Amino acid sequence: MIRPRTLIRIVLYGTITWLCLVGLWLGLPSPSPYDDGTTYATSTLLAGRTLTRVYSTSDHNVQTSEYARRKSFALTYRLSPSHTSVLVNGHYIFPIYNNWTDTPAVAVQVATGDQDGINPPWFNVADSTLLFHKIHYDDGAITLRARRIGDTWEIYPEGNGHQPLLSLTGIGNGETAAPMDINKATVPAPPESFSPSRTYYIRLVIFYLMVPIGMVFVVIGGTFGATFTILFKIFETLLLVGIQMLFAVAVVLVFVRVFKGKDAMEELIEETLAKLRSPIVWIAERFKRATRRRVACIQKQKWYDLDR
């Protein structure tokens, strides 16, 4: 049986750990890779890695639910080792050939999100969008085609003036079905599209640590959709309240430190902790007494049964 003091320590240390994670979540910088629309995209794709880009839904014809109209959507691209195709969002293959006709239209499911919720305004746009999606799991659909123009092969959304989302430039050998020798990749430069920051995956780990059962939610979310949404709404509300409280405390402490000095600030902290500690100690003592009475009753019942 867990002792009351142990239970209080678990709750206290858990709260402190959670607050530290929130502070790290808020204070972790979001350095974006050097992104002129070409350098980062080219180095990422030619190295065989996945390129993630976040675009604005208002600039492209993205079909979403009326109840989940988000500001941004994400696409991932991965170049095949032989440079003969591009894998979009992990499921949709667009072949790269030296033909001059547009490929058939493909409806691609995309992750959508906003830049608010638990994400402060100073987060990277792509980071905020992807993290927002991790909570709400709103999806949309966009119809894409691919075509070849000169030495450039591009993917573009249907019905939007053929503005390319990704362009690959290479030197074709003139044969109809031969792959290009790709030497450059181009995507719309910020602010038309963004890639996640270098610390996105660190912040994602912090996110799952702040929600210890977050991974379980992800697994069961598809089965218990309503419960999943409600639980994350509760978490989002609690996190927002916690963030606001942290900001309020920080403002008060800074005000006291500036106008009344360091000693006054330390005294305020000690008095506040003492006031917070008093009800916790009172509850612990009450719980301890109740536990002792319960244990005494159980022991008395055992002796009574033995006497019989």
User: What is residue 187's DSSP assignment?
Assistant: -
Per-residue pLDDT tens digits for 198-232: 999 999 888 888 766 444 444 545 555 555 566 66
DSSP string, 224-276: SHHHHHHHHHHHHHHHHHHHHHHHHHHHHHHHHHHHH-HHHHHHHHHHHHHHH
Beta bridge partners of 77: 51, 88
Per-residue pLDDT tens digits for 21-57: 888 888 888 888 888 899 999 999 999 999 999 999 8
- Return the pLDDT at 174: 47
Cβ atoms 165, 55 nearer than 8 A:
yes
The pTM score is 0.66
Question: Residue 193: is its pLDDT beyond 60?
Answer: yes
